[in-house]
Structure 1
């Protein structure tokens, strides 16, 4: 998916742009979805691909929204990140390659994964909104 950087700068907030396009990160405990517990789906702020379900969200205490699984395999891509003098696994949206966060192997069962995701890289959609947009697509 080819993205126009100028259009993205206009559409996204400066923080959203820095995180998704420049692999930045938000300060821990500052994101709007860190202590957020509504039921629904989290989508990519750039391309709106569905990524995570509230069913797999948990409070890891790390300061960022954490999920123990993706909504569906293939929704994200994983990349080696050796920045900051650490070797980590970066998580990107598979559709638009937006930086989302990192994944670690210290999450709860059954996956033992902790997808540590920046709030600024995702948006929350309530179940009614998803059902409504799917109904409109079938008309």
Structure 2
């Protein structure tokens, strides 16, 4: 009879431990999800300023390494990659839907040198801003 009670107590303890571990894991995932949402909001507000990753980590209240780990886990990319992606998305939109010269778009996105913007855009997309603009406008016109 004592064996039955000891077994029952051990089973209940194991279940309680597993439940608390799952709850802690769920809570951590929720916190990480909120941190990534906060990161995306900060990126949207500051991407034109070309802030370092440390700026975003400080605003969120974590270390740079921890923020990069969370970003890779939740968003599938590092913080610097998320920043570059946001810059390229804004550049693509401006190139296709505005008549603004490439040089002015570069300055509006916070680049000090339009030539560097051209290199950055080419590295990210595989094509120059001018070529991208022509190609996309032709595609949209067809």
Structure with more strand by fraction: 1
* TM-score, normalised relative to structure 1: 0.22
| Bigger RCO (CA 8 Å, 6+ sep) | 1
Q: Which is richer in helix?
A: 2
TM-score scaled to structure 2, two decimals? Answer: 0.22
